[in-house]
Chain A
């Protein structure tokens, strides 16, 4: 075994290079706070993180969809709430008008009132939110209810507008108007018109017959409001679970990608010491040879 200078220089160079590469990596990790800078740093980890990030992106989108869906639904709920209040008032007024103690002029006043309330309900049924008619099915730019010759017709369709709020969960963001404002063959506008006309005709019996019709319309409306309430409840639950899922994903992503700082810093210090030692050793390779001691 012979040792000689060329071995020392070659080895010194080789190890300086290796140590420098590790030192570079340690610096990169500490300054960026990330373990993975390019795929080859950890191919399977990087791909895994990529998958998680894609899912995180989708979850964010679902949350966004959900928030917009909630706007439509809460507006619809609001409308139904108002309509219910109006109808309750009509029920009270009509019940008064159904008695014979009231004279015709008073009944006509009530009839007038009810007619205005009818117009109000029509306005509510034609509510637009963000340029969309809430109650016309998918024909969102078609005014759902219009009146011709005293008869109100439904111009929308019965279709739903669904949006994705989870991997396999969709929520319907609308209620077609015919489902809300009609009940079988009857519709709220017709009933109100009948009550108005019967009051004007001073026909108490007919008015008292109209009131149960209004009752069943109110029942249906309560049912529809329940549907919206359920959907909104579902949205709230879903939002929480999306939030939790997104947090979990974030945690996992950071587990894979983020550097453990204390570890990274101590690693950097270790590599730095290593590099110092290697460089120092290399600098000592001097030509201490026999020649130095020959005269």
Chain B
């Protein structure tokens, strides 16, 4: 029956609907600075009309739903890009430290110190019996050995620090995973009623980005709006189930952590299948870049030790003695494997404090003979002094060239990681801008909507007042 009371009912419904809209506008404005927030829009619709005899009568407005305004494709792209950024920024952080180890712009770089070492042999050729010259040879040998050891130790330290990051990162990944799994459940049960769980979805999106920043993931959304997350192509989150990551020490990789994922009751090693995020950057640094630099230092150290020793042990010292090594020799257990040579290089303790024991002469008793000193000084410019491909034969030289090549590759790869970090940052900023265009709250827009609904609310309130008066009149009709 159409009448005053149904109009009253209509007005009430309309006012309530508008209040609902005000609430959502308020929610939007409140979240203007929440990065992951997607603005929400209230979908209004006419209430199903009812038939009255031959006529259909409308009964006002109602809320059909609240939708988050989002572009799934953009969110997917951001999701992918943060994985690249996570990887690049981890590597760039690591390179900032590694690069400082190979600081050659000052006079204390390995290259300069290597030059000093050979120069002191040259000084000895000029004055083969000079004790000051001999002491300088020993001292510069020690400085060179210390410098190489220091670089090696600092690289090793960085590697160990990064290894420590693995376990804390795995813990974070599991925590984030747990939260996502929980949100999956809440979203599924909430949306089963047909309502969009916008805020929970925004939160989940944020967590997925955090997760992607740490480790490469693939994300799929099912028809119940739950996400399945894969790490290294293996299920990590399915619905509200989490296959936790864990770590185990790998005896064949310096006891560093390998990463395992739980898969139906047993664990699978996925260390080398991780394909993005900080974890990927970490594994690249820890397992391939740093070991590469360590190997090169080892090769350089082995070349120095062995070549200098070969000449020195064939020479004669001031007292006519022969056969002494200048550096403590390094004997590879398998040919071509010089692991640790750079950690162990030192001037042979037997001669370290005995300048007379430096062998400069090629003939016993000829103390003015400087042939061996000349030969050692010449090593600085000699080819085939370093075994660059670890096959047991010296095939690369000079020492300087080999070291410069190491420095250049560190520099180039460092630069590469910095550039990539900046580029990824720019891409993500752009994507986020585009996402903001779609999803972020615009205060102007909200105020416009607010005014619009405020006006309608005012008029509807007046309408209600009119109906009220009419009802009044009707009640007083009988008087």
The chain A residues found within 8 Å of chain B, CB to CB, are 1-7, 10-11, 14, 18, 34, 36-44, 46-47, 50-51, 53-54, 57-58, 60-62, 64-65, 68-69, 130-132, 136-141, 157, 159, 161-164, 167, 170, 173-174, 257, 287, 289-291, 294
Choose from A7, A44, A139, A157 the contact partner of B440 (Cβ within 8 Å).
A7
What are 27 contact pairs spanning A and B, CB under 8 A? A1-B437, A4-B444, A5-B443, A10-B429, A10-B432, A11-B433, A14-B429, A34-B105, A39-B414, A40-B95, A40-B415, A43-B409, A43-B415, A50-B404, A53-B112, A57-B116, A61-B123, A69-B126, A130-B127, A132-B127, A132-B368, A138-B361, A139-B367, A140-B368, A157-B366, A161-B368, A164-B374
Contacts of B404 in A (CB 8 A): 47, 50-51
Q: Do the beta carbons of A68 and B127 come within 8 Å of each other? A: yes
Choose from B111, B368, B415 the contact partner of A53 (Cβ within 8 Å).
B111
Of all chain B residues, the one with the shortest Cβ separation from A66 is B126
Contacts of B444 in A (CB 8 A): 4, 289-290
Q: Do the beta carbons of A68 and B115 come within 8 Å of each other? A: no
A44 and B405 alpha carbons, distance in the complex (Å)? 9
Contacts of B440 in A (CB 8 A): 2, 4-7
Chain B interface size band reads 35 or more
Given A53-B111, A58-B115, A289-B443, the answer on whether A159 and B418 have CB atoms closer than 8 Å is no
B122 close to A (CB within 8 Å): yes
Q: Do the beta carbons of A54 and B111 come within 8 Å of each other? A: yes
Of all chain A residues, the one with the shortest Cβ separation from B448 is A290
Of all chain B residues, the one with the shortest Cβ separation from A170 is B374
For the complex of A and B, 3 pairs with smallest distance between CB atoms: A39-B411, A140-B368, A43-B411
Given A36-B105, A141-B368, A289-B443, the answer on whether A294 and B451 have CB atoms closer than 8 Å is yes
Contacts of B369 in A (CB 8 A): 138, 159, 161
Choose from B95, B104, B129 the contact partner of A141 (Cβ within 8 Å).
B129
Q: Do the beta carbons of B425 and A14 come within 8 Å of each other? A: yes
Chain B residues 439 to 476 lying within 8 A of chain A, measured CB to CB, are: 440-445, 447-448, 451
- A50, A60, A174 interface centre (most CB from chain B within 10 Å): A50
Q: Do the beta carbons of A38 and B99 come within 8 Å of each other? A: yes
A11 and B414 alpha carbons, distance in the complex (Å)? 26
Contacts of B366 in A (CB 8 A): 137-139, 157, 159
Of all chain B residues, the one with the shortest Cβ separation from A39 is B411
A159 and B374 alpha carbons, distance in the complex (Å)? 15
A3 and B445 alpha carbons, distance in the complex (Å)? 10
Q: Do the beta carbons of A4 and B368 come within 8 Å of each other? A: no
Q: Which of B232-240, B342-350, B376-384 contacts A (4 or more CB under 8 A)?
A: B376-384
Chain B residues 35 to 68 lying within 8 A of chain A, measured CB to CB, are: 35
Of all chain B residues, the one with the shortest Cβ separation from A168 is B381
Contacts of B35 in A (CB 8 A): 6
Q: Do the beta carbons of A58 and B103 come within 8 Å of each other? A: no
Contacts of B438 in A (CB 8 A): 2
Contact with A along B385-411 (1 / 0, CB 8 A): 000000000000000110011011111
Q: Do the beta carbons of B437 and A138 come within 8 Å of each other? A: no
Q: Do the beta carbons of B105 and A37 come within 8 Å of each other? A: yes
Q: Taking the nearest CB of chain B, how far is it from the CB of A53, in angstroms?
A: 7
B157 close to A (CB within 8 Å): no
Of all chain B residues, the one with the shortest Cβ separation from A13 is B429
Q: Do the beta carbons of B443 and A287 come within 8 Å of each other? A: yes
B187 close to A (CB within 8 Å): no
Contacts of B426 in A (CB 8 A): 14
Q: Taking the nearest CB of chain B, how far is it from the CB of A277, in angstroms?
A: 19
B125 close to A (CB within 8 Å): yes
Q: A50-B111, A290-B447 are in contact. List 18 more A-B contacts (CB 8 A).
A: A7-B433, A7-B436, A7-B437, A39-B99, A39-B410, A40-B415, A43-B415, A54-B114, A64-B119, A130-B127, A137-B366, A159-B369, A162-B370, A163-B374, A174-B368, A257-B105, A289-B447, A294-B447
Contacts of A131 in B (CB 8 A): 129
Q: Do the beta carbons of A44 and B370 come within 8 Å of each other? A: no
Given A10-B429, A141-B129, the answer on whether A3 and B411 have CB atoms closer than 8 Å is no
Q: Do the beta carbons of A5 and B32 come within 8 Å of each other? A: yes
Given A4-B443, A159-B366, the answer on whether A40 and B99 have CB atoms closer than 8 Å is yes
